[in-house]
Amino acid sequence: MIDTTASLFTMKSQKINLSRLAILIGISLIVLWIAFDYFKKSGMLPQSNEIFNGQLINQTENTVSRRDSIVNYGMELLGTPYVSAGTDKNGFDCSGFIYHVFKHFKIEVPRSSPQYKNFGKEVPIENVKKGDIIVFLSPTSNVIGHLGIVTNPKGMESEFIHSTSGREMKVVISSLKVEGYKLRFVKAISVIN
């Protein structure tokens, strides 16, 4: 009879221990969930992914892939007509194109070309990266008058996307190798952290 009582006591003891263990695991999971939620909301953990233009983009992406995203979005606008003072997909002027593309990524840039004279962080043309902005003089006067976004960085042979009022009258890709752009080149700037 003593053995049976001892057995029952051991079984009850194990049930109590298992119950306590289950409670501790439950409390631990709740604490972990609360901590996870706190860190996620505070921005200390990566956020969920989002779909952008049919591609999965990680919201914690580094500046290199952000630069690619900016260029890719600009490329989607190739062929959009040049429209004086235009800032939307119906048509752009050069600064309206830059303004629209960067606004899409919640990056504030000036609306007009002359405002780029002292804007952004100047980058040596040899160190230019995708997504940097190239600043040019106006073709008719000695003031800032044209802008483009670097698509293929190669120093003074870099390619850039821009809305031109020239012969094409639309968003196109050009190169700094072209004499007209090379002569008007002022500087390259970065506005991407």
Catalytic residue numbers, as ranges:
94, 146, 162
How long a stretch of residues is the chain? Answer: 193
In degrees and rounded to multiples of 5, residue 192 shows phi and psi of -105, 125
Residue 32 DSSP one-character state: H
Q: Report the alpha-carbon distance of residue 107 to residue 33 in Å, rounded.
A: 33
Count other Cβ atoms within 10 Å, centred on residue 165.
15
**For strand 159-163 and strand 144-152, is the pairing parallel, antiparallel, or unpaired?**
antiparallel
Give me the amino acid identity at 185: F
Span between the terminal Cα atoms of the chain, in Å: 78
What the block records as the tokens of 138 is: 């106006």
CB 172 within 8 A of CB 164: yes
